[in-house]
Amino acid sequence: MTAMAHEQLTQAEVLLEGFLALDTPEGFRAELIDGEIVVTPPPDGDHEDYIGLIVEEVIRKSRTRMQFAGNKGLKLRSGGGCPKDHAIPDATFAPMELRLYRGAEPWMPCDGVAMVLEVTSTKPAADREAKRRCYARGGIPLYLLVDGEAASVTLFSDPRNDDYRQVCTLPFGKPLPLPEPFAFELETADFL
């Protein structure tokens, strides 16, 4: 190993240790995305309303029984010399039969996760770009993004390396088809 590679690894380890030792204020969320620590303040009411509507619909309509976790930390692969990404989606869905969240550590691997949901917050660029790449690198099959500022929902699918190869964006009010294991159209009329 070269001295430079050893130095980068040491910096990555220090960053990860510092991140894991953070004590964020109640309601705030700290994530390690693309080698940067991102702290997000508590969400507003619209943010929580969108999540509630989607969770209710996924649980009620999915062809496969789904398990849901809100604000569950995921350990994902990272790019370059960065430490492993640690992202906290607004919602994580996995087939109930896997029971992924049972006994899981605060940060769990993403194996078996069917879809993550993010609703844009005070830092929408992180949700639109950096977190999208993190979820793709982690091999999460579906990433659902609710963008309040753009009044749209986007489903990213077919992850390859650092991004998703398929993208479907629709305005609020239009139903968004969710593929297997969900296999239903997500209604977004209540987002208006």
pLDDT tens-place string over residues 62-86 = 999 999 998 889 988 766 555 578 8
Q: Say yes or no to pLDDT of 141 above 70.
A: yes
Sign of CA dihedral 132, 155, 69, 97: negative
Tens digits of per-residue pLDDT, 151-165? Answer: 999 999 999 988 999
Q: What pTM value is reported for the model?
A: 0.83
Q: How far is CA 113 from CA 27, 50, 109, 152, in A?
A: 24, 20, 9, 23
For 77-117, what is each residue's pLDDT tens digit? 766 555 578 899 999 999 999 998 887 677 888 999 999 99
90 touches 51 (CB < 8 A): yes
Say if residues 185 and 62 touch (Cβ distance below 8 Å).
Answer: no
Instruction: Give yes or no for residue 28 having a pLDDT over 90.
Output: no
Six token digits for residue 188? 């977004």
For the chain, domains (ranges, CATH) are 3-191 (3.90.1570.10)
